[in-house]
Structure formats: structure tokens, C-alpha cells
Structure 1
Amino acid sequence: MDKPHPQQQWQQAVTAYALAVNDYVAQGRTQGWDNLAEPQVPETEHLLEAWLAALQEANRAGVDEQQRLAFREAWPPAHHPLLPLLDEHGQGIGNVLLLDDGSLMARIGMPYDKGQVVRIDRHGVTPVIGIEHFGRCPARRYFALANAEGVRVTDGWGGPQVQRLGWPTGLEGLPAGYPFEPFDLPPTPTALIPFPDGQRVLLVSAQGIFVLASAGATRLLPHQARVLDALAEGTEPEDVSLGLSMEHGRVSADGRLIVVGEQGSRHLVLDDQLRLVAEVGPGSEYPHFALFNRAGDQVILNACHFYSGATLAVRVVDLPGLKTDYYSQDPRTPLVQDGARVYAGVARAGEYIVGDAYGYLRAFGEDGKEHWQHYLGSTISAMDISADGHTLVAASHAGIVSVIALDSGRPAWQIGTGAHGEVRRWLFWKGWDKALAW
């Protein structure tokens, strides 16, 4: 008997594996995980050459949308078959934004990579010249666009400039009278978040966390107190560590609160005058991520340990004066998600959706009740959601950008427990001449 065509083998393997994993999860949740055999990953490496040829054919000039959809139907998206190629081709996607016209902005490469900013729409992928990093305010109106010369704030993407801000010198907030050296180069942004009035920008970087304003920059982290302690212990100024790890920050939609943190701090909450409001002890070892809910009356705070983590929630009304220890059992900081090391996340009405180190999108309610999970694969590096909460975009360290129609139904090849269907996937792979749509 003739062997099935590679496309048929791929389709059967991908779909059967997804069904097996979903059945395994369903059984484990209802009957317990004891004596359950985890599904075996099918052997698909021999199909990669045929898959790649079909992918390239579906992306050649002149191919219409119907033909691309037919390719996607014939070769359903999956992560596990691509594993043999990822060491050579995979790369992190540092940032993604969904614009109101339905197009996507993405930074290919992580913040510390040289990277490239691109715009993705139904016509394809277009490089954006003159912008190295970008960010959007939590109210979705203002954008920060950065290059070596500084940070521009515009009213809308492509809109008029409302502010131009310089980079920090690196000497802000450091004790006077010591021979500290200024930055040789501008900090590399992990995140750029304009405030909702468009006048200031929160700059998160491994070189420090700052608020940029027309009058200059203000350092939020590392604290001057930490620097003074190091100096008091006899550390020479040039040896004082001013760098941050796991640095992160978030601005509330009304601009009244700023949440920042890094590996060696608690979760710190400041008001719009940059005064300390709260210090929240993390639920795991290292503060890693923060996110406000859609209503703006709650914030979640994730801390990690290796590839796992714990996420606390705090009501905004409980923040003033709140000061808790690590692993506190304070009822004002309940655990709402246990297990995820969160690298990216979004919120919609009544729900948080976070991306973890294992390639899962995990959704849960503001009360901590788990809603659903959706598998993309590789560590999730960036996410955004449309204003109406119907379209989600998630990117990973596999060099993949996935556009997902939420609550649209789950295709047979999708691993997950939610009714969500991916509508387009882009592969931004190292060594390729161009990105390819799947």
C-alpha cells in the first residue's frame, strides 16, 4: 500500500496529537492524573521538507487569500513538528501591538537584540524605518517611538507629535559627590509606556527604570538607598551595580499609579507624583511582571522561580499604605494563579490572559478561577489584545506571531481548553529572506 502523502501524514499527526493531549487534560482534571499516560509526540521530522516547500509556495507573489487558507487547512499549525528547526531559526519577538485598523506592530528580536520594527497587515510585512522601540499608553491613545536620538510621543499611531523626550544621562538619582559615570549609550528599553496624558513616559530597562519628562528623567530603580548602602560597605562607585534583572513596569489606565519591580525588590507601587504608595511582598522568589485589570480597580503581580511562578492580586483601594512580606498570607494579596512564570499578559472584561515560560496562554478571573488555557509553544514573549477584547495576538521565542480570534470556536488541531481559534500565524525566522504567513 502506498504511503500517505506528506501533507496527509502531517494533518493526521497534528490533529491526532492535539486530540490526544486535550483528552488527556480533560481526563486528568475530572478523574485525577494518577495512572494517566501522557500522549506520545508523533514523529514528523521527515515531513518538514515538504511542509517548508508548501509554506513557501503559499507565500509566493500572486497567491490569494483563499489559497493561503487552503494551505493552512491542509497543513494545520503546530509547534512540536518545528522543534528540530528552532535552534537555528527561532528568535524572540520583543513587542507586539494591535492597532485600531487591524494591523500589527512587532519588534523582531528581544530588547537586547539589534532587532527590527515591522508593520504587519493583510498586504504583508513592511519594515518601519527610524524606530527601534515602541510602546502605547494604557488608554491606547498615545504612542512612544524611540531611536538613538530620543523618544517621541505621538497622538495616535502616525499622529502628531505631542512630546519629545531625551534619554536619561544615567546619573539621575545617584548620590552627589561620587564619580559615577554617565551612560555611554541610551538605555535599551524593555518597555516604553506613555502616561495617559502623553506628557511622560515610563522607561523600563536593564540599566534602570526611569520616568521621562520634558524637565528630565527621574530614576525609580535602583533606589538611591541601595546605592548608598553599597557605598557605605566600601564598594567603589565604579563597582556599584546599577543594573537590573527581571525589570518590569506598568502604568494604570488613569495614570495615577505606577507599578515597578525587579529581581531584588518587592512589588513597588507609586502615585503619579512618584511617591511610594505600597510595597507588596511577592508570592515567589523574584518579582517579574505586573498588570492592571480592564476596569482599573485591581492589579496582578507575578513573581517567578526557575520556570514557575505565583501571581498575587491586589485591589487598588487596598494599596495605600500596604506593606507585606515575601510569601505573605495577607488576605489583601490573595494568590490568583499558581504555576506560571509570566512574561507577557493582557486583560479584558473580568479576565486576565497571561503567557508563560512553557508556551501556554492561561486565562483566569479576577477571583483566581481558572478559565482556559491555549497552547502556542515556546516561551511567550509578548502579547496584546484589541480594544473590544475579541482579538488576541501572542508572540514567542520561537519567532512566531499568532493572531487568535477569541471565543470563535476551537479547531481540531488546537491544543487547549478554550473556544479560541488562531486565524493567522507569522514565522519571523533567522536566516530567512522574509517572514512567511501560515
Structure 2
Amino acid sequence: MDKQHPQQQWREAVLAYAEAINHYVEQGRSQGWDNLKEPSHANTEHLLPAWREALEAINQPGTSAAQRQQFREAWPPAHQPLVPLLDEHGQGISQVLMLDDGSLLARVGMPYERGQVLRIDGDVVTPLIGVEHFGRCPQRRFYALANDEGIRVTDGWGGKLVTRLPWPNGLEGLPAGYPFEPLDMPPRPSALIPFPDGQRVLLASSDGIFVLEAHGATRLLPRGDDILEELNNGTDPDDVGLGLSMEHVAMSPDGRLIALGEQCGRHLVLGEQLQRLAVIGPASEYPHFALFNQAGDQVLLNACHFYHGASVGVRVADLPGLDTDYYSEDARAPLLQDGARLYAGVARQGEYIVGDAHGYLRAFGEDGTEHWQHYLGSTISAMDISADGRTLVAASYAGFISVIALDSGRPAWQIGTGNHTEVRRWLCWKGFEQPLAW
């Protein structure tokens, strides 16, 4: 094998591993996992210099679509061979969006990092100057564009300005008469979601979760009442925790409901007037992620423990007054998925597609029935889906962006049980002058 061309060695190793893993999973699912040994990947580290040289060559100007496709067939995409490079080059992609024209927006870097926002249109990658964070309303009409000066809401991507919103100062909703200090810098959003009216924006950050309006911000978490209770119980104001960990939000498709949470508490769902509709006990230790289904009549609520997790599903009709404890067996909050710690997810008709901490995209029905799984590698950090539900984009903490044509066939190098084809993979790596297309 060592006498073969590096490209041929790579191709054979990737295809053999994918075939072996897919067979291993098929056996495990049909016969059980006892006495099964997980296949190992052939040593390909010595092939990485040749792979990188070929990757950089195919990204030179003037490369045709046919040449790019030939490259993918010769050097099939894979995660395992690149693991030796990830410590040096890998970096998280905190957000991706698919625009209606097929181009992508991506934020390279995690929310707490300065990062960079890119637009990827075909093979052209353009940094967006003056935009540090972005978001889109659930009806795909309004966009929020943020930098240190504040947030602009536009009607459509590149559309007319609708409103400008200031950042919260951090004192909103805090009990009066205590020596709390304002934030010394704007929050770093982990989510920025305009409401369907285009006049408000839902902000999640480690400094708190707020609804932003032109005249100011409304605090959702941590709740002012909970802070006041701490103070009344004798906690020194300097010791009151105003920061959040694992903060997350989701907005229903019609913008009337907000699911939210953070690691120190239960799942919350708020109504149209920001009133508390439901408090739902998680099915694992720490609330971590929320997602509404496409119809808007069910919400998925995930909680995690280390790299594992569990998700319950609650029908919107059952939300008013619902109050359950941790690990509740209430029939109104059934377990839909067990095992996945979720950082990202999307919904299409009758199906949730989520990304877990082990590098898998997992799809299941609104009743919890497993549909398929698709391997990308590393923790899945961000996802979006096209309006027609046919194209999925998923990003990872390893710095990959994968564009996937759903329900279009599975190539031989793909690990998974789904019938999907990755059509392009971008490597947004530290040490690269620009993202490289694979």
C-alpha cells in the first residue's frame, strides 16, 4: 500500500473505514452491540501533507466545477484523518444561515471570541465588515446585524433598515436600591433572533437573556424576582450571580412563544406577553437547548450531562400551567431522544434534525421515532436548513461547514444511515489565509 500514490491510499482508507463503520452500526442496530468490536481507521497521518497541497491547489482561481468534483472523488471528505491537525487549526463556527439565494453566512469563532462574519457565495468568500453577529426571524424575513454600536434590523438580507436597537446595560429588571454595576461592554450574543414584527429582537448571552426594543430592554433571565429572593435571603449583592451558562433560546414560528433556559434551573416557556406559561423539568442534569417544530405546535427541550443528554417534547396545547420536576414521567413531556447533547438543530415537516456532541446529525420524528443519522465529526455547533427543506448546512467546533443535499443518495465515503449527499465542505481553519472548499 505504501507504494501507491498518496491520493489512492487516502481514498482506499476512507472508503474502507466508512464501509466498516456502516456495517458495524447495521449489525449493532439489528443484532445488538455485545461482542462487536468497533473498526479502527488506517494510519493516514503521513498523507496529510499531500492532501493539503492538493486542497490548496484546487482552491486556486480558475478551478472549474468539474475539477472540484473530481477532487472530491479522488480525496473523499472525512473527519478521522484530519484529527492530528485539529489542535493547531480547528476553531468553532458559532452560527450559520442559508440565505434565500443559496449563499451562506457564517460566524467563525465562538460568541465569546471576536470572530469574523463571512458570506460564502458559490466559491467566493467575502468578510462582512462592520458585522460581528447576526440572526434571522423564524419566518425568514427580518435580519439582525450587530456590532459594538448596537443592532440593526433589516427587512430582508441587504434590505431597508427597519429599526436600530441599543444593547442592554445589564441593569434592566434588577431590584432597585442595590449597588449593581452596569455592563462594561456589550453582551456577546449566543443567539440574536428578530421577532416577526421586525421591531424587537430576542438576545441570549452569558450576561443575560433579554427582549430588545428601541426604548430599552426587558430582562427574561436571570429573573428579577429570583435575584430579589437571593437578596432577601441574605446574599451579598456582590455575590449575586447575574451571569448565565449554557444560555439558550428558541422562538416559535409565529413569534408568540419563547422557550429558554440555562444550566441552573428548569426549562421555561413564555407567552406572547412574556408571561410564564410553563416550567418543565429536564430529562438530564442541565438545560442546554430548545427548538420548535416546523408547525409550531411542539417544542423540543434538551438537557445535558457531560457529552450526553436527553430531550423531551411538549405539545404547545399542553404548555399553559405545566409545571414538572426534574426527570418527571409526566405524559405531557415524553422523552423523544435519549443520548444526544445538543448545540444546534433545525426542523422540517414532521422531523427534527439535531447535531450532537459526538459529530452526528440525528433525525427523528415528533413522536421520537428515529429516522437517520449522518456523521460529520467533532461537536456540531450550528445548523440551518433551506426554506424548502432540501438543503442542510451544518458546522462544527473543528471549523468545518458542510452543505448537504438531503434525500439525494449516500456516497460510499459517507458514514451514516441517511440518504444524503454532502455537496461542499469548507475548512475555516486557523493558519489558513481564507476558508478552503473541499
Q: TM-score, normalised by structure 2?
A: 0.99
Measure, in 2, the Cα distance between the counterparts of 1:411 and 1:241: 50
**Residue 203 of structure 1: how far off its partner (Å):** 0.3
Aligned positions of 1:279-358 closer than 5 A: 279-358=279-358
Equivalent position of 1:115 in the other structure:
115
Contact 2:150–2:167 (Cα < 8 Å) also in 1: yes
Further displaced range: 29-38 or 303-312 = 29-38
5 Å matches for 1:74-153? 74-153=74-153
Tell me the CA shift for residue 232 of structure 1: 2.5
Q: Measure, in 2, the Cα distance between the counterparts of 1:216 and 1:277.
A: 24
Question: Aligned to 1:336, what secondary structure does the other structure show?
Answer: strand
Q: Which residue type is aligned with residue 230 of structure 2?
A: A
Within a 5 Å distance, the mapping from 1:202-221 to structure 2 comes to 202-221=202-221
Query: Mind listing any 5+ residue stretches in structure 2 that lack a counterpart?
Result: none
Amino acid at match of 2:270: L
Query: Using the alignment, how far apart are the partners of 1:153 and 1:205 within structure 2?
Result: 18
- Quick check: 1:181–1:238 contact (8 Å CA) kept in 2? no
What root-mean-square deviation, in Å, do the aligned CA atoms of Structure 1 and Structure 2 show?
0.9
Residue correspondence of structure 1 range 228-247 to structure 2 within 5 A:
228-247=228-247
Residue 229 of structure 1: CA displacement?
2.8
For residue 432 of structure 1, report the CA deviation from its aligned partner: 1.1
1:180 corresponds to = 180
Which amino acid is 2:77 matched to? P
**How many Å apart are 1:421 and its aligned residue?**
0.6
How far apart are 1:234 and its partner, in Å?
A: 2.9
Query: What is the number of residues matched between the two proteins?
Result: 438
C-alpha separation between the residues in 2 aligned to 1:44 and 1:357? 24
Whichever residue aligns with residue 109 of structure 2, its letter is G
Output the CA distance in 1 between the equivalents of 2:430 and 2:267: 36
1:28-107 map, 5 Å = 28-107=28-107
Q: Secondary structure at the match of 1:30?
A: helix
Aligned-partner Cα distance in 2 for 1:192–1:265: 22
Between the aligned partners of 1:290 and 1:366, the Cα distance in structure 2 is 14
1:274 and 2:255 are equivalent in the alignment:
no
Instruction: Tell me which residue corresponds to 2:434.
Output: 434
Is contact 1:348–1:389 with CA below 8 Å preserved after alignment? Answer: yes
For residues 338 and 123 of structure 2, what CA distance do their matches in structure 1 show?
Answer: 41
In the TM superposition, residue 235 of structure 1 has moved relative to its aligned partner by 2.7
Tell me the distance in 1 between the aligned counterparts of 2:392 and 2:154: 24
Shift of 1:255: 1.2
Change in Cα spacing, 1:238 to 1:419, as seen in structure 2 (3 Å) is: same
Q: Which moved more, 1:268-277 or 1:97-106?
A: 268-277
Structure 2 match to 1:258: 258
Alpha carbons 2:123, 2:437 under 8 Å: kept:
no
- The aligned amino acid for 1:333 is A
Which runs of structure 2 are paired with 1:8-27 in the superposition (5 Å)?
8-27=8-27
Offset, 1:197? 1.1
After superposition, give the CA deviation of every residue in 1:191-244 in whole Å (9 maximum; x if it has no partner): 000011111100000000000012210000001122123323333222211000
SS at match of 1:300: strand
Task: Please state how far the C-alpha of 1:2 moved relative to its aligned partner.
Answer: 7.3
CA distance in structure 2 between the aligned counterparts of 1:311 and 1:424, rounded to whole angstroms: 30
Cα offsets for 1:19-53 (capped at 9, x unmatched): 00000000111111111111012110010010000
Amino acid at match of 1:286: Y
What SS does the corresponding residue of 1:27 show, helix, strand or coil?
helix
The match for 1:365 is 365
- The farther-off stretch of 381-390 and 58-67 is 58-67
- Secondary structure, counterpart of 2:144 in structure 1: strand
Partner amino acid, structure 2, of 1:285: E
Counterpart CA distance in 1 for 2:335 and 2:434 is: 43
SS in 2 for 1:12: helix
Question: For the residues of structure 2 that align with 1:123 and 1:98, how far apart are their CA atoms?
Answer: 15
Q: Are 2:192 and 1:192 equivalent residues in the alignment? A: yes
Partners of 1:27 and 1:49 in 2: CA distance: 35
Query: Aligned equivalents of 1:433 and 1:313: distance in 2?
Result: 43
- Taking structure 1 as the reference length, what is the TM-score of the superposition? 0.99
Cα shift at 1:256: 1.0
CA distance in 1, matches of 2:242, 2:327: 26
Shift in Å, 1:434: 1.0
Work out the CA distance in 1 between the residues paired with 2:363 and 2:115.
30
Letter in structure 2 aligned against 1:394: A
Per-residue Cα deviation, 1:127-161 (whole angstroms, up to 9, x for no partner): 00111000000111111100111111111000011
Report SS of the residue matched to 1:112.
Answer: coil
CA distance in 2, matches of 1:40, 1:259: 41
* Partner SS for 1:402: strand
SS of the equivalent of 1:309 reads: strand
| Residue 3 (structure 1) aligned with residue 3 (structure 2) | yes
Code of the aligned partner of 1:225:
D
Cα offset for 1:105? 0.2
Secondary structure of residue in 2 paired with 1:371: strand
Measured against aligned partners, the alpha-carbon deviations of 1:151-172 in whole angstroms (never above 9, x if no partner) come to 1111100001111111101100
